[in-house]
Amino acid sequence: MASLAELLRRFRSQGVPGAPASAGVPVDRAAALAAELLPVLGALRDTGSRAAQLEDSAALRASERRTASDEEARRLLADARRRAPAERVEAATERLRRAADEQRALLAGAQVEADRIAAVAARRSGALVEDVVRRALAVGGPTAGPPTGPPATRGRR
Q: Could you report the per-residue pLDDT of 48-78, keeping only the tens digit for each?
A: 889 999 999 999 999 999 999 999 999 999 9
Q: Could you report the per-residue pLDDT of 124-150, keeping only the tens digit for each?
A: 888 888 888 899 888 875 555 555 545
**Could you state, in order of their start, the residue ranges of all structural domains in the chain?**
33-139
Look at residues 8, 2, 78, 4 and name the one whose alpha carbon lies nearest to residue 33: 2
Q: Could you report the per-residue pLDDT of 77-110, keeping only the tens digit for each?
A: 999 999 999 999 999 999 999 999 999 999 999 9
Mean pLDDT for the chain overall: 82
Weakest-pLDDT range from 11-15, 28-32, 35-39, 126-130: 11-15
Contacts 24+ apart (CB under 8 A), 30-33: 32/2, 32/6
CB 43 within 8 A of CB 52: no
- Between CA 50 and CA 32 the distance in angstroms is 28
